């Protein structure tokens, strides 16, 4: 076996993969996938990992997903574009995507961009979960 020291790019990739896995947490509750993030910003530097991680959930038809935005203080235009991409991925596989616990600044942006007319957004995670029934 060749020592990893000869593969610095591999070690860098493994570090990035580990960080990605730690960025997204997926919990199952009542057949609903609840996704939380360990980052407080959703922007161009984080959306690829988020897209990849969340999109896997929509590989299963009829998926029900809540993105819990608690603690996410900042979402830029690429973050909202990512949410629209995930919304389309959900619909293409007969799934549902909803949002819970947006911070006040994120709520303001959802409204400013009129995205509250596209997404279902709940102030409370439990209310969001109940809405699937």
CATH number of the domain encompassing residue 71:
3.30.750.24
- What is the DSSP annotation of 18-85? HHHHHHEEEEEETTEEEEEES-SEESTTTHHHHHHHHHGGGGSTT-EEEEE-TT--EE-HHHHHHHHH
Confirm whether 6 is domain-assigned.
no
Share of residues in the chain with pLDDT > 70 (%): 84
Q: Which domain holds residue 67?
A: 25-130
Residues 108 and 73 sit within 8 Å (Cβ to Cβ):
no
Is residue 59 situated within a structural domain? yes
Residue 46 belongs to a domain? yes
Share of the chain above pLDDT 90, in %: 80
Other Cβ atoms closer than 10 A to 55: 15
Q: How many domains does the chain have?
A: 1
Q: What pLDDT sits at residue 19? A: 47
Judge whether 71 lies within some domain: yes
Position 8 confidence tier, pLDDT thresholds 50, 70, 90? low
Specify the pLDDT at position 22. Answer: 77
Q: Is 70 exceeded by the pLDDT of residue 91?
A: yes
Residue 122 near residue 100, CB atoms below 8 Å = yes
Q: Per the domain annotation, does 10 fall within a domain?
A: no
110 falls within a domain = yes
In a domain, 5, yes or no: no
pLDDT at 28 over 80: yes
Q: What average pLDDT does the structure give for the chain?
A: 88
Asked if residue 15 belongs to a domain, the reply is: no
- Provide mean pLDDT across the span 93-100: 97
Q: Per-residue pLDDT for 16 more than 80?
A: no
């Amino acid at each position: 076996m060749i020592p990893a020291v000869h593969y610095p790019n591999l070690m860098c990739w493994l570090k990035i993969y580990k960080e990605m896995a730690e960025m997204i947490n997926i919990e199952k509750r009542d057949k609903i996938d609840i996704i939380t993030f360990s980052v407080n910003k959703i922007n161009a530097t984080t959306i690829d990992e988020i897209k990849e991680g969340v999109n896997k959930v929509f590989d299963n038809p009829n998926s029900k997903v809540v993105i819990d935005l608690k603690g996410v203080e900042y979402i830029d235009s690429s973050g909202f574009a990512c949410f629209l991409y995930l919304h389309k991925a959900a619909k293409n596989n007969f799934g549902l995507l909803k949002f819970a616990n947006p911070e006040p600044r994120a709520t303001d942006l959802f409204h400013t961009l009129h995205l509250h007319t596209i997404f279902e957004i709940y102030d409370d995670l439990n209310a969001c979960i109940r809405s699937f029934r």
